[in-house]
Amino acid sequence: MVKPNSTTAILLDLDGVILNLEYDIKFWESWLPDHVANQSNRNLEEIKAEIQAEIDIQRGTLNFYDLNYWDNLLNVDCMNIIKEQEEKCAYLEGSYEALQRLSTLKNPMHILTNGDPRAQEYKAETQNFLEFFDSIFYSMHAGYSKEEKEFWALARHNLNLDFEDAIFIDDDFKVITAAAKAGIKQVIWITPGKNRVLQNGVETFPSLAELTTAIT
């Protein structure tokens, strides 16, 4: 891979790259269905099946990421559920130190996230990572998810990006593919268990920490 020069924009996903995705997985698989089951006095396994079915329908759309959608659908307050588990929100091993190293490069750095702005702002408040970034660009503000080409056109315009001089880092291969199709010159797939290899033409690293070691 080509190391960034002084003008290269470094674009990072948040969950699964910087923060441990287990926090979000637990929300969908455990905390949310448990809350709905307790509130409705219905069978937990039935609730889990219904939520999973809706996830399968909405995955990749803005509804999937929009906590207001789930609040209204399930008659819950998703943010309260998330806040009840605050202590479980954590950095991936080595990712905070990786951000510190990247910040020494003085490159433009932006988070590009599909996550609900309320949840991501809460994570920023509790984990204190905003100091490393110039901005957070939300798919929900753009009106398109990162899987959609329109998102990338808006990101390029709003963040004044040169895709020929940018690195995008994400843990979702569909998003990585969309970014590459949009014209970002360097895309990096963070995928635990895969050391530095090419996967369908995309360079992979097992963690942000190992990637940062390679480029700083």
Mean residue pLDDT of the chain comes to 94
Q: Which fold has domain 9-20+91-215?
A: Rossmann fold (3.40.50)
At 27-48, the pLDDT tens digits run 999 999 999 999 999 999 999 9
* Residue 57 three-state SS: helix
**For residues 131 and 62, what is the distance between their CA atoms, to the nearest angstrom?**
27
pLDDT of residue 216: 87
The counts of H helices and E strands in the chain are 12, 7
> Domains of the chain: which residue ranges?
9-20+91-215, 22-87
Whether pLDDT at 198 is above 80: no
**For residues 112 and 137, what is the distance between their CA atoms, to the nearest angstrom?**
5
- Secondary structure in 3-state letters for 125-164: HHHCCHHHCCEEEEHHHHCCCCCCHHHHHHHHHHCCCCHH
Cα distances from 4 to residues 87, 102, 166, 183, 189, in angstroms, run 35, 10, 8, 17, 16
**For residues 193 and 31, what is the distance between their CA atoms, to the nearest angstrom?**
27
Reported in sequence order, the residue ranges of the chain that DSSP labels E, i.e. its strands, are: 9-12, 109-113, 135-138, 166-170, 186-190, 198-199, 202-205
Q: Per DSSP, what are the bridge partners of residue 138?
A: 113
At 161-190, the pLDDT tens digits run 999 999 999 999 999 999 999 999 899 999
Q: Which of 172, 23, 199, 12 is nearest to 95 (CA)?
A: 12
- CA 161 from chain centre, in angstroms, equals 19
148-173 mean pLDDT: 96
